[in-house]
Amino acid sequence: MNQIKKLLIIGFVWPEPKSSAAGGRMMQLISIFKQNGFEITFASAAQDSDFMVDLSEFGVIKKSIELNSSSFDDFMAELHPDVVLFDRFMIEEQFGWRVTEKCPKAIRILDTEDLHCLRTARQKAFKENRNFEISDLLSEEVAKREIASILRCDVSLIISEFEMNILKDVFRINADLLFYLPFLVDEMKEEEFLKLPSFDERKSFVFIGNFLHEPNWNTVQYLKEAVWPLVKKDFPEAVLEVYGAYPSQKVLQLHQPKNGFYIMGRAEDANEIVKKARVVLAPIRFGAGLKGKLLEAMQCGTPSVTTSIGSEAMHSVLPWNGFVEDNPAEFAQKAIALYQDENLWKQSQKNGIEIINVCYQTSNYADSLISMVNELLKNSENHRLHNFMGNLLQHHAYKSTMYMSKWIEEKNK
């Protein structure tokens, strides 16, 4: 009889699938491991939130842990997991050395969510009013930390093929340390497609995004200042509804009903809102990874207009479910055309469904993820032997991280 394998997930935050794409991604991972017989414990040092998912409903054990505390060591020794999944590189930095010390045989997986160094470098270039260059990554402080974390782990889950290429070509990361895993959704069947609201049953443009995420706040500012005035000029009756979790006062101040610009706050059910909208607008100017809001639009049969950053690595060579435009005037014109032309809208909707079925089907990736993990469990020694740079970083970098953490723990006493 096979022994039940234990997975420990150490979360940056407790999952909020209705607040962010990251929360949805985490629940996808939990579902795959659960379906393959893993016993899952989810641990986090984050505060509970009103919108966190009830992990017990998914058969997952919830455990609150402390930063810079040897109580985590006792927890690790007692749980003794077979696999540890770190949610973002900052969590690996904080807890990785403790995992290595107490459970050296446990497989260490990093879920990057997106490349933080790419997002940070693009944001800096944007704020400095210059074009982002790939070479910017080499001098980015966050890159040094993030790449070190990737090297220390047995494998890292990478959400974007563009980011896979950066890691291999720019940072020279061995492909054996990387596993491509995009967002995962079920196949969109024709009967589901036919149940979606029709062109005539939908109204309004919509934007949706978590406002704790800087690219989303910037997108809404840009919509308000640069894009929306151009839309209203040629389409006076247009209405834009902006939804998002955790809107700050500066977001709420953009609410301007007389101009058709509505700040709606948190969406109780984002899916229902996007299904009722006719077009999603997402003129994203910096960021990384895949955009959950744009995949959600495709699932809701809602065409979108976005930028090259927004659509990056999301649709392979397939036509977009709407338009990709970086120029605000063109963006506005394409948004209006998509909203008013039913034939164009229907074709764009079909494009989105094809993208879902070709690029994001769970069945294309779930089995290979579990196979990869099982292979690592069998051959971890050989795998680690060939990751010399990772071993070197384990030897040196963890010493400094370890002593810093121990110093903080002593200071806190």
Predicted local confidence at residue 390, as pLDDT: 86
Torsions phi, psi for 66 (to 5 deg): -115, 150
Give the per-residue pLDDT at 222. Answer: 97
In a domain, 34, yes or no: yes
Residues 166, 308, single domain; the answer is no
Is the residue at 36 inside a domain?
yes
Place of tokens 């247009």: 238
Q: Does some domain include residue 1?
A: no
Q: Are residues 173 and 295 located together in one domain of the fold? A: no
Let me know whether 390 and 325 are in one domain. no
- Please report where in the chains the tokens 């974390």 appear, as a residue: 149
- Pseudo-torsion of CA 382, 387, 388, 392, nearest 10°? -110
Do residues 122 and 79 both lie within one domain? yes
Q: How many CB atoms lie within 10 A of CB 11?
A: 24
Q: 53 and 147 share a domain?
A: yes
Residue 216 is part of which domain span?
A: 190-359
312 and 369 housed in the same domain: no
Which residues contact residue 109 at a Cβ distance below 8 angstroms, ignoring those fewer than 6 apart?
83, 84, 85, 86, 153, 154, 155, 156, 157, 373
Amino acid in position 124: K
Residues 235 and 341 in one domain: yes
Whether residue 326 is found in the same domain as residue 396 = no
CB atoms within 10 A of CB 408: 12
Does residue 134 lie within any of the structural domains? yes
Q: Given 359, 375, 394, which residue is the final one in a domain?
A: 359
- Tell me how far apart the alpha carbons of residues 139 and 144 are, in angstroms, rounded to a whole number: 8
Task: Confirm whether 293 is domain-assigned.
Answer: yes
Residue 5: closest CA among 31, 54, 39, 51: 39
The model carries a pTM of 0.93
CATH number, domain containing residue 329: 3.40.50.2000
Kind of pairing, strands 39-44 and 61-64? Answer: parallel
Tell me what pLDDT residue 162 has.
97
Residue 366 falls inside a structural domain:
yes
Does 284 lie in the same domain as 328?
Answer: yes
132 and 219 in a single domain? The answer is no
pLDDT on residue 299: 96
367 and 346 co-located in one domain: no
> Which pLDDT tens digits describe the chain residue by residue (413 residues)?
468 999 999 999 999 998 888 999 999 999 999 999 999 999 999 999 999 999 999 999 999 999 999 999 999 999 999 999 999 999 999 999 999 999 999 999 999 999 999 999 999 999 999 999 999 999 999 999 999 999 999 999 999 999 999 999 999 999 999 999 999 999 999 888 889 999 999 999 999 999 989 999 999 999 999 999 999 999 999 999 999 999 999 999 999 999 999 999 999 889 999 999 999 999 999 999 999 999 999 999 999 999 999 999 999 999 999 999 999 999 999 999 999 999 999 999 999 999 999 999 999 999 999 999 999 999 999 999 999 888 888 766 566 667 777 778 877 87
198 and 343 both lie in a single domain: yes
- Relative to beta strand 279-282, strand 205-208 is parallel
User: Which pLDDT does position 1 carry in this prediction?
Assistant: 45
Assess if residue 390 is contained within a domain: yes
Q: Is residue 67 part of a domain?
A: yes
* Overall domain count for the chain: 2
